[in-house]
Structure 1
C-alpha cells in the first residue's frame, strides 16, 4: 500500500539491525526518501537509545554538528531549535521505532518520544581537534579538584591495596555480601541498571567490573584517589565517587528514579519473562504500565509474560530463608519418591546467605547415574500431583540428551548444547495448594538435576553473582586453556574432559556437593571461597 505522505530524507543505520529487518524497512520506503550519504540526511534512524551513542554514530559517519539539543534537556523552545530554524540544516537521530511506527501508519509521525539527539550540521568539517560537546567520552577524566575531596587531606598517604585485589579475576578474591562501601556501590548498581535498560553492553560490563572491585575493598573509602587505583575502576568511577562525597548522590543513578521513561522501562523489566529488549518494545507501542499490557497487549504476550503479570505482586514479595528451606525439602522428598538417595542443595541467593530472595534454585543429584537420567519430568509430575506446582513453564533435559556428559568443545567451535547452563532443568510456578484452600503465595522456582560425577561444577555454576561467574570462565580460558560450565570442564586444546572431582587415591567421587565444589576450586588452582564470599554484585 502506498504511503500517504512523503518522508524526510532518511539514512538508516545498520547498528544492531538484522539484515532481514533492514531489507524489509528499505523495501517499504520510496527511493527518494533514502540516502546513502549520512551528511545529507535530515533524519538518521537506528536501533539506539542514548545521546552519547548518537554522537558516536555521527562521528563515525563524519557528520559534524556545531550545536545540539537533546529531548531530555530541551523543553518548549530550546536554543538549538531556534538556531536550527535559522540555519535550515538540522539533523535528527531518532529511534528505529519512529520509522516502523510511521510505516505502519503510512505517514511520518511526530518525533516526540522518539528523539535521541537533535543538532545543527556544521558548515565545514572540523579539523582533528574535536569540537566542544562532540566527544564527551574521550573527555571523561577525573577532574583536578579530586585531590581536594571533602574527606581527604592533601598530604595523607593512600592506604596500601591488598594483594588479593591486584588480580583482574574476581573469582580469586573474597567478596563479602555487605562491604564497607555498600552505599556508593548501590548507586553504581542503579547506574548499571540504567545502562542495561539503554542496551549499553559495554557500559554494563565496565560498571560490573568496577562494582566487583569496590565490593571486595576491605575499608571505607575516604578519597577519590583510592578508587582510581583499584582494578577495573576508571577515572570515571573516581569522578563519580568525588561527586558522591560532595553531594551524597550520583546523578546518573538519580535519573533512573526521576526519568519517566526509565521508570517505565524498569517496571516492565521487573516482570518475569520480560527483558530490556521486550521492555523497549512495550514502551515503543505506547504502553506505560501493567494495566496497558493487560488491556492492549494481552494476546500478544508469551505465556511466561502472562504468568509474570498475573502474579506480579506475589513474585515481588520476598521469599524468606525459612520458606526457601521448606520448598527445598519438599522438592527433595518428591525426588526420593522417584528414587531413594537424592542429595539436595539450595543455590542462588539463598546459598550466598541472603535473608530474602525472589526465587528459589533447588539442585538435585544422586550417586546412581541412572537415577538422574531423564528424572526431571517425573520429579515435577510428582510435585504437580501433590498440589505444589500451579504452572510448568519449561522443562529441558539437555544433559540427559547428551548422555549426562559435559557439553562438547572442539577447538573454538560451539558443540551441541554449548553454553554456560546446560543441565536438566524445570522452571515452575510453585504454590502450596494442599488442603481445602490454597494458602501459599505463588513463587518462582527452578529445579536443576545434575549427574553425581560433575555435581561440584554444577553447584559452583549456580552459586555466585554474575561477575564472579564471568570471571571464573575467563580465568579458565585465559590462564588454564579450559572451558568451564555447570556441566563440567573441558580442554580448549583437544576438547577432552578434565575430571576435577574424582579422588585419585580412592578412585571415587566426593561424598557431597560442597566437598565436590571444593575439589573443583582446588583443581582450578583457586582458593576456596564460601558462597557468601562470591557477592560481586
Structure 2
C-alpha cells in the first residue's frame, strides 16, 4: 500500500538547476496531463490524488494539472509499482518508455511548491529513470490536448475535429429531414418551441403517439428556423415562408380543415398553433394543459426513471395522484424525518480503504430505487462534472483494460451546458484485435466500478442492445448509477451513467447514434431507409437489398456513406 514519504523543503528543492524556482515563470506554465495507475494504491490514496489534480486544474498563475483517462495521452504517470513485470500488466512497455513515470510523491511535492519538480528524483522504476528524466514536462510543454472531447479523436485520428458545417446546411431550413439542416441549441423562436413542446409532452403522456410525433417534427422544423431567421417569426414570415416548410405547409393546413369531418383528427395542427402564438403570444391550449391536474400527475409519474406514459396512466387510473402516493404504492421505506431510504446495500470498507467483498449482486435500478434517488437525479450535471466522471471512468478502465478510448456523447457533445445523465461510448484502440479485447468487458468493468464504490445500481434491462448475430458481438451497454468519490465532489450525488461498449469497427456508428438528438437520429434512420435504401443504427450502415455492412472509419464517414453533408454535433439539437 502506498505510504506518503516525509519531505522537507531541502528535499523538494534538491533537483538540478533546471527545476529551481528562478527558472520558471508561473504565468508560463502549460497544462500537465496526469494519469493515475491505480495498481497498489488503495481507494483513499487514489481519491486524494484526484483531489490534488483537480485543485490545480484552473490555476492561472501556478501549477496547472489535468487528469487524463488514457496513459498514451499523459505527460506524467503516477505509479506505486516499482517492478517492470508488474508494470507491464497495466501499461505497455513501449508507452512506459515515452512517459515520465513517477511516484505519487511527485504530485504532492509539486503541488506544495506550485511548480513541476524534477521527475528523475521521483522515478518509480530505476530502469526507467533516464526516460523519466528525458520525458519530464517543463515550462516548454506544448499546450494540453488531453480534453475529454479530444482524447478519442487524437488517438484514432477521426479527422472531424477541423470539419466545418457547410453554409448550405446552415441555411437549409426548408429541408424535410433534420439531418439535412443545422439546429443549434438556442434560437430566437425558443418560446414558440417551448410551447409546442408542452403539446408534444401532453400528447405523448396521453398515448397519442402519432400526434406527439407530429409536434416533435414541428418543433424540429421551428428550431431549424433559428439560423435562417435571426429574429422572431412574424405574421409575414408565416404567410410567405413558414407555410411552405415540411410538416407545416399547405397540405397540413388542408388536413387541419378536414379534421372537423373526423378524417384526420390525429394529424398535426401545428401551423394553426404557430399562427395563434404569433397573433397572441401564447397558445391557449398550453395554458389549459399546464393547469390540468391530470397532466401534472402524469408528468410527475413519468419523471421517475423506469416509468413510461403507459405506466403513468395506469397509476393515475388506480387513484394515484402524487409521487408520494407512488412511494406508498411501491413500499418505499421512509425514515423518521420523512426522507425515503435505499435498502441497506451501501458498500462497506476496511480502515485502509479497501471494499469488503460480499456475495450480493449489484442492486437493481428499479422504480423503488428511482423514487428514492429522484431528487438527486433531478439535479443537473455541469459540464465540468461530466468531465470529472469521464476522466475517472477512463482511469479505472485503462487500469482494467489498457488501450481503451472513448467519447462523451449525448447532450454534452451537442453543447448543452448541463445534462440530465451522462453517455460514454467506449472502444479499444486496436482496430484489428480490439473486438476480442472488449468481449465481456461490460460485466467486468461494471463489477469493478461497483467494488470500487463508484457504481451503486445497474438497470437489469441493460445489456446487449440487439439480438441479431452481428450486434450481439459489436455493441453492448450498461445503464448504471454512478457517484464521484466524496473527496472529489463533496455532494457525492447519484448520477445516471450509460456506458456503451463498441467494437472498433462499430465505434463511429455508435458515436453518431448516441450523440443525438432524438429527432435528429430518427430522421437519420428515416433518410437512410427512404432516400438511400440503407439501414443505419449504432453498429453499422447496412445496404438493405443484400444486407452488406459498411463500417465507417470516422464520424464524417457515417455522413458520407449516407450521402449527407457534415453537421457539427453542436448543430444537431433538433429537439427541446
Q: Classify the TM-score, shorter chain.
A: 0.5 to 0.7
Instruction: Give CA-to-partner distance per residue, 1:428-477, whole Å, 9 cap, x none.
Output: 11123466998411111111101111211000000111111111111111
Mapped to 2, the partners of 1:187 and 1:428 lie a distance apart of: 33
Mapped to 1, the partners of 2:319 and 2:465 lie a distance apart of: 42
Query: What's the offset of the Cα at 1:397?
Result: 4.5
Query: What's the offset of the Cα at 1:303?
Result: 5.2
Aligned residue in 2 for 1:136: none
The equivalent position to 1:231 in structure 2, one of 246, 251, 261, is 246
Mapped to 2, the partners of 1:187 and 1:525 lie a distance apart of: 34
Aligned residue in 1 for 2:414: 352
Do 2:365 and 2:457's aligned partners in 1 also have CA atoms closer than 8 Å?
no
Query: What's the offset of the Cα at 1:401?
Result: 7.9
The equivalent position to 2:551 in structure 1, one of 476, 486, 499, is 499
1:187 and 2:253 aligned: no
The equivalent position to 2:519 in structure 1, one of 450, 460, 467, is 467
Instruction: Give CA-to-partner distance per residue, 1:248-282, whole Å, 9 cap, x none.
Output: 21122222310011111110011111010000011
Aligned residue in 2 for 1:523: 561
Aligned residue in 1 for 2:440: 374
Query: What's the offset of the Cα at 1:499?
Result: 3.1
Mapped to 1, the partners of 2:373 and 2:223 lie a distance apart of: 33
CA RMSD of aligned residues (A): 2.5
* 1:122-161 correspondence runs (5 A): none
Do 2:509 and 2:539's aligned partners in 1 also have CA atoms closer than 8 Å?
yes
Query: What's the offset of the Cα at 1:393?
Result: 2.0
Structure 2 CA distance for partners of 1:230 and 1:278, relative to 1, 3 Å: same
Q: Secondary structure at the match of 2:297?
A: helix
The equivalent position to 1:327 in structure 2, one of 385, 389, 404, is 389
* 1:5-154 correspondence runs (5 A): none
Query: What's the offset of the Cα at 1:166?
Result: 3.2
Do 1:213 and 1:231's aligned partners in 2 also have CA atoms closer than 8 Å?
yes
Aligned residue in 1 for 2:291: 258
Do 1:395 and 1:425's aligned partners in 2 also have CA atoms closer than 8 Å?
no
Structure 2 CA distance for partners of 1:191 and 1:298, relative to 1, 3 Å: same
The equivalent position to 1:207 in structure 2, one of 215, 237, 242, is 215
Mapped to 1, the partners of 2:310 and 2:378 lie a distance apart of: 21
The equivalent position to 1:222 in structure 2, one of 229, 234, 240, is 234
Aligned residue in 2 for 1:486: 538
Q: Secondary structure at the match of 1:493?
A: coil
The equivalent position to 1:171 in structure 2, one of 166, 170, 179, is 179
Do 1:521 and 1:527's aligned partners in 2 also have CA atoms closer than 8 Å?
yes
Gaps of at least 5 residues in structure 1 are 1-160, 408-416, 502-515
Do 2:365 and 2:460's aligned partners in 1 also have CA atoms closer than 8 Å?
no
The equivalent position to 2:497 in structure 1, one of 437, 445, 466, is 445
Do 2:486 and 2:492's aligned partners in 1 also have CA atoms closer than 8 Å?
no
Instruction: Give CA-to-partner distance per residue, 1:10-50, whole Å, 9 cap, x none.
Output: xxxxxxxxxxxxxxxxxxxxxxxxxxxxxxxxxxxxxxxxx
Do 2:171 and 2:181's aligned partners in 1 also have CA atoms closer than 8 Å?
no
Q: Secondary structure at the match of 2:366?
A: helix
Query: What's the offset of the Cα at 1:244?
Result: 1.4
Mapped to 2, the partners of 1:406 and 1:266 lie a distance apart of: 34
Gaps of at least 5 residues in structure 2 are 1-168, 254-268, 333-363
Mapped to 1, the partners of 2:446 and 2:404 lie a distance apart of: 15
Do 2:512 and 2:538's aligned partners in 1 also have CA atoms closer than 8 Å?
yes
1:272 and 2:305 aligned: yes
Mapped to 2, the partners of 1:437 and 1:227 lie a distance apart of: 48
Mapped to 1, the partners of 2:466 and 2:219 lie a distance apart of: 37
Do 1:228 and 1:237's aligned partners in 2 also have CA atoms closer than 8 Å?
no
Aligned residues: 348
Instruction: Give CA-to-partner distance per residue, 1:158-182, whole Å, 9 cap, x none.
Output: xxx9972333111111111112211
Higher RCO structure, 1 or 2 (CA under 8 Å, sep 6+): 2
Mapped to 2, the partners of 1:435 and 1:471 lie a distance apart of: 43
Query: What's the offset of the Cα at 1:237?
Result: 2.4
